[in-house]
Structure 1
Amino acid sequence: MKIHLTGIFTGLLFFSSIINAQNIFEQTKDPYFGESCTSIMVSKGASADGSVITSHTCDGRYRTWMTMEAGETFENDTTTPIFKGKLRTETPWDMREVKEVGQIPQTKQTFTFLNTAYPCLNEKQLAIGETTTVGPKELVNENGMFLIEELERIALQRCSTARDAINLIGELIKEYGYGDWGECITIADKKEVWQLEIFGEGPDNIGGVWAAQRIPEGHVGVSANISRIGELNLKDKDHFMASENVYKVAKKLGRWDGKKPFKFWKAYGDNEKPFNIREFFILSSLAPSLNLSYDADELPFSVKPDEPVSVQDIMALYRQTYEGTEYDMTQNINVIKKKKDDDGKVISQDTIKSSIANPWPTGAARNTLNYLDSTAVTYQRTVAVSWCSYSEIIQLRDWLPDEIGGVAWLSFDNPGQSPRIPIYAGTTQLPESFNYCGQKRYREDATIWKYRKANKLATLAWQETKEAMLKEVAHFENKGLEEGSILEQKVIKLLKEGKKEEAQELLNRYTFDFTGATIHRWKDLEDYYWGRFGMGF
């Protein structure tokens, strides 16, 4: 049955949408809210330009302040503190809920890195994406020193390759303990990209258990909150790594009988199969010729795409809401459009999609629609979600100097609506507004609110606003890609002349200017939408 929204009911839903426009405050009541983060990986041989790609959507009420943390040189016998509680702080200097849980020996030299909630890129073109896999509660040991974000930070400060980062993380877990729930981090360098999945050993064991699998050359992979690593071939050191206790812990906890073929996701995951809608949709979109089935018990860990994958392709996947497919949540939200003659007599009528139909309905909106017709909206976890804090798509390119070879295409708020800002590995400073998180309250000085206001307004009549907003997204996407090649040549020239500081200043300035241009345009959209809604849109 199709729902036809007319008259009073359309007005009711419109009013309901306004009430929920800033629905970040009711997200935690949504049963689907805890399902967060999507990471897509592209190997060097699968990308259109030879770059390696990893990525991350930070979906949830996590901090949106971010900084460039400068590399430092330290004296011998110094230590560095390890923290818990930074994921929901309001500024870099907000320590109200932060706890120092221990210290580890400091290295003599650290690298500069982009300090997002889940740190993501350093000056040596080492990049990390993240996605929480949760796993069974029985594996968690809260007394372990390290949470996943601190493991990422230490790895980016100390490592320049993915393999070194995996080995370091393994050593830290073994010595100091893993205190988080199940996590996957997708670690990439200029040559390769790996998927590393980590779990605790249980409350009686301070260490942890982990396995890492490389995305094969010429393949793409995806992690979206479900453990996906299957059989381990530890003799193939080019594609597999694991903690020395990976089999022992599974047997000890009764999660593997030692007889059936060992699969990491079965032993340590907490799900019936190692994929859901996002993994299926992304892999199917990139390799349609495989005719993957959503009803299958297992999907391949990675697939060879039918065509080389560009960074623009990944950007498009991160905007996905399954529009036009059987998983489209707006497909049944329709209205009757009547055509009348000069005398007011109806001469024809068509069923069209309601202007208020959007792929990010709040729980209240879904419940209202399904109260009228239980088949109106079947919830699907889309790739792009309205509760996203920020997301990044990171390219790593070995034919360019590190300063310009690594670039994080970063967006705030909903990746289905917001523009992407290029932040290069050689960047040393970010705009002032990046210092403020907008998740605890409305803050005019927080970058995320520069986009969130227009984005939320646009969803009130998404079928009317979508085309213009996505046109602006495409404009800045093309602008960044086209200007990037020019910027790269300027930076290369400066570096060859030994002018590293001038190169850094150029990169800093470009990020400042690009951010300012997007903020200005989204303010124009916000004002335009308020004007339209004020006049009845």
Structure 2
Amino acid sequence: MKTRSVFISVALGVVCLTASCTEACTTTIVTRGASADGSTYVTHSNDSYSSDPSIVFVPAKDHPAGAMRKVYPSAIAWDDLPEYACFSNPRLVAPERAADYDYPGKARTKPLGEIPETAHTYAYIDSDYGVMNEHGLMLGECTNNSARLEYLEPKEGRGIFYASELGRVALERCRTAREAVRLMGSLIDQYGLWGTGETLLVADREEGWVLEMQPAPTGKGGFWIAQRVPDGEFFVAANQFRIRAVRPGDPDQIFNPRLPGMLKEAGWAAYDKKGRLDWVRSMKAVEDFHPYFALRRVWRALSLAAPSAKLPAKVKNWDTEAYPFSLRPDHPMTLTEIMDLHRDAYEGTAFDRRTGKNAGPFASPYRYGKTKWERSITSSNIAYTWIAQANDRLPAPVFWLSMSAPAESTYIPLAVAPLPEAYARNDRSHYDPGKAWWIAQQVTALTKGYYSAVIPKVLNAARKGEQRSMELVKSSSGWPKEVFTQVLRDNAESALSDWRELYGKLLAEHDGGHGLDYDKAFRPKPDKVLKY
């Protein structure tokens, strides 16, 4: 996803003029053969200072013959679009889609266009991007800042789909990842793309796919390609396209047959050393803002999954072939390891964000201001992170949701079903102690102030709650779906209550820094000079 910002073009890339664009999403697939419990997982961190943290259940519906589905714009693509009554918060005002998209007194979001509706649409969980549907189809997302076409604004006569609406249509209509990829590709071909280059991860119980897309300069159609992640392997994307050679006839790739010709016609076609059409080079998918804004996170995630691969932390160019598309983990990945991957700040490496003078007196992994700080997986501006999970044992598909940054929060499992009221209509501009965003944000804000002194207590509480939830989910096999979903709602209410109490306890202990042992909390270490 993309935070609002202003850009100027320079050389092969772009330079960001505001601090808000220095952070963006990280997304992964853990295939069933790569996970310890045989589940398929898709993860996504929604990193934006302007993101709407509301999580919405969209119910299944039947539609009459001849009905049309509205296709709405999204402010998360780039910025607010007042001419469409489209804003960051709330992201959508469309009562026909879900009750929690009804905001009395606010102007309804205006659609960019319509497509024919299908007779029946499936229930799903929605956020700034679609999360997961009732059949276990899962999505993840990250924005890709390509120098070819940074942003194509929506205008009459141009494409009507941005990645967020594209994913929602797939969740409404598809049961499998392969089916969803083909549907979204056909929608791009027929109705066109606007916005930014995007990656959507698409997975079900059996397999995972990576769908990458880029608007065309004409606003007609778009460029897209999808590649399957081999079972038993792990994949990560971090704001840069990851598919390389375009391989006609390969059953593990899906793309418009005209793609090679389209790239040549646009003058974008670029090739690898073997003479194969190279998607990354054709898109000129350069690093955004910093030489290690994207690739360092790819290196870190792949290295956490498979240290034995000994991947180089430093590479020469944005189009390096040093990092594989996906790899087999050294051991099957546990849910706890997947959770902790999204909490990572390069701990224990030469790039550990908690060390050096810039970490401050309490070893903070976060950086602020306009300086080109290196990006880690954890971020100061994460609105929420999900880990979608599907297997044949669960009574209903589950997603583990961490509001705010997971490094200072806890993951809570929820089913694709009506959610506790705390997750709906979370307004970042008005404090509401009953809302999940604010319950999490209180602990996050306090922890950021006294990081090294407070974080051990926060993580201890988070992991205890997560372990209880894991045991609850593990014991659910054979339960009726209705019982399971209600148990998860009750568990979420209890977990949010525990987190609210944690904030009060931490505030009493550390208000104003009183009672902190500075020397014990943090002993400064020499700065490491990192050369790129």
Taking structure 2 as the reference length, the TM-score comes to 0.82
Aligned counterpart, 1:393: 387
> Gaps (5+ residues) in structure 1?
1-23, 335-352, 368-377, 495-502
Alpha-carbon separation, structure 1, partners of 2:365 and 2:271? 45
Alpha-carbon separation, structure 1, partners of 2:393 and 2:248? 33
TM-aligned CA deviation for residue 324 of structure 1: 2.3
Structure 1 residues 247 and 422, CA gap change in structure 2 (3 angstroms): same
1:126-161 CA distance string (max 9 Å, x none): 000111113235375432101111011100000000
Residue 89 of structure 1 pairs with residue 89 of structure 2? yes
Q: SS state of the match for residue 120, structure 1?
A: strand
Alpha-carbon separation, structure 2, partners of 1:224 and 1:212? 16
TM-aligned CA deviation for residue 97 of structure 1: 7.3
Alpha-carbon separation, structure 2, partners of 1:25 and 1:533? 34
Partners of 1:420 and 1:477 within 8 A in 2: yes
Aligned counterpart, 1:129: 140
Give 1:306's aligned amino acid. Answer: D
TM-aligned CA deviation for residue 294 of structure 1: 2.4
1:322-353 CA distance string (max 9 Å, x none): 1221111221249xxxxxxxxxxxxxxxxxx9
Within 5 Å, which residues of 2 pair with 1:325-364? Answer: 325-333=349-357, 355-363=361-369
Aligned counterpart, 1:177: 192
Give 1:162's aligned amino acid. Answer: A
TM-aligned CA deviation for residue 86 of structure 1: 6.2
Paired residues, number: 465
Q: 1:305 aligns with which of 329, 332, 336?
A: 329
TM-aligned CA deviation for residue 102 of structure 1: 1.0
Within 5 Å, which residues of 2 pair with 1:354-433? Answer: 355-363=361-369, 379-397=373-391, 399-400=392-393, 403-404=395-396, 406-425=397-416, 427=417, 429-433=418-422
TM-aligned CA deviation for residue 440 of structure 1: 3.5
Structure 1 residues 304 and 513, CA gap change in structure 2 (3 angstroms): same
Partners of 1:89 and 1:97 within 8 A in 2: no
Q: SS state of the match for residue 145, structure 1?
A: coil
Partners of 2:270 and 2:278 within 8 A in 1: no
Say which is worse superposed, 242-251 or 171-180, in terms of deviation: 242-251
Aligned counterpart, 1:536: 514
Q: 2:487 aligns with which of 488, 492, 510?
A: 510
Alpha-carbon separation, structure 2, partners of 1:39 and 1:389? 14
Alpha-carbon separation, structure 1, partners of 2:270 and 2:302? 31
Within 5 Å, which residues of 2 pair with 1:53-452? Answer: 53-60=41-48, 61-85=50-74, 87=76, 88-90=88-90, 92-94=101-103, 96=107, 98-136=109-147, 138=149, 140-141=151-152, 142=154, 143-202=158-217, 204-237=218-251, 239-256=252-269, 260-271=275-286, 276-296=295-315, 297-298=320-321, 299-333=323-357, 355-363=361-369, 379-397=373-391, 399-400=392-393, 403-404=395-396, 406-425=397-416, 427=417, 429-452=418-441
Aligned counterpart, 1:40: 28
1:358-385 CA distance string (max 9 Å, x none): 1123328xx7xxxxxxxxxx83211111
Q: SS state of the match for residue 99, structure 1?
A: coil
Structure 1 residues 440 and 534, CA gap change in structure 2 (3 angstroms): closer
Give 2:256's aligned amino acid. Answer: S
Runs (4+) off by over 6 Å: none
Alpha-carbon separation, structure 1, partners of 2:247 and 2:276? 12
Alpha-carbon separation, structure 2, partners of 1:415 and 1:30? 25
Aligned counterpart, 1:477: 466
Q: SS state of the match for residue 54, structure 1?
A: strand
Alpha-carbon separation, structure 1, partners of 2:21 and 2:102? 28
Partners of 2:232 and 2:328 within 8 A in 1: yes
TM-aligned CA deviation for residue 535 of structure 1: 6.6
Structure 1 residues 201 and 476, CA gap change in structure 2 (3 angstroms): same
Q: SS state of the match for residue 523, structure 1?
A: helix
1:471-529 CA distance string (max 9 Å, x none): 0110111111111122333x2xx3xxxxxxxx32x234323322222222222222233
Give 1:484's aligned amino acid. Answer: V
Larger proportion of helix? 1
Say which is worse superposed, 323-332 or 309-318, in terms of deviation: 323-332
1:221-241 CA distance string (max 9 Å, x none): 10111001001223121x111
Q: CA RMSD in A?
A: 2.6
Aligned counterpart, 1:373: none
Within 5 Å, which residues of 2 pair with 1:447-462? Answer: 447-462=436-451
Alpha-carbon separation, structure 1, partners of 2:354 and 2:150? 39
Structure 1 residues 51 and 361, CA gap change in structure 2 (3 angstroms): same
Alpha-carbon separation, structure 2, partners of 1:213 and 1:269? 19
Structure 1 residues 258 and 387, CA gap change in structure 2 (3 angstroms): closer
Which has more radius of gyration?
1
Aligned counterpart, 2:453: 464
Partners of 1:232 and 1:263 within 8 A in 2: yes
> Gaps (5+ residues) in structure 2?
6-15, 77-87, 91-99, 516-532
TM-aligned CA deviation for residue 180 of structure 1: 2.0
Q: SS state of the match for residue 413, structure 2?
A: strand
Say which is worse superposed, 189-198 or 518-527, in terms of deviation: 518-527
Partners of 2:28 and 2:236 within 8 A in 1: yes
Give 1:38's aligned amino acid. Answer: T
TM-aligned CA deviation for residue 51 of structure 1: 1.3
Say which is worse superposed, 87-96 or 279-288, in terms of deviation: 87-96
Give 2:138's aligned amino acid. Answer: A
Q: SS state of the match for residue 301, structure 2?
A: helix
TM-aligned CA deviation for residue 32 of structure 1: 6.0
Taking structure 1 as the reference length, the TM-score comes to 0.81
Aligned counterpart, 1:497: none
Structure 1 residues 257 and 381, CA gap change in structure 2 (3 angstroms): closer
Partners of 1:85 and 1:97 within 8 A in 2: no
Give 1:164's aligned amino acid. Answer: E
Structure 1 residues 177 and 32, CA gap change in structure 2 (3 angstroms): same
Alpha-carbon separation, structure 2, partners of 1:363 and 1:44? 40
Alpha-carbon separation, structure 2, partners of 1:92 and 1:163? 29
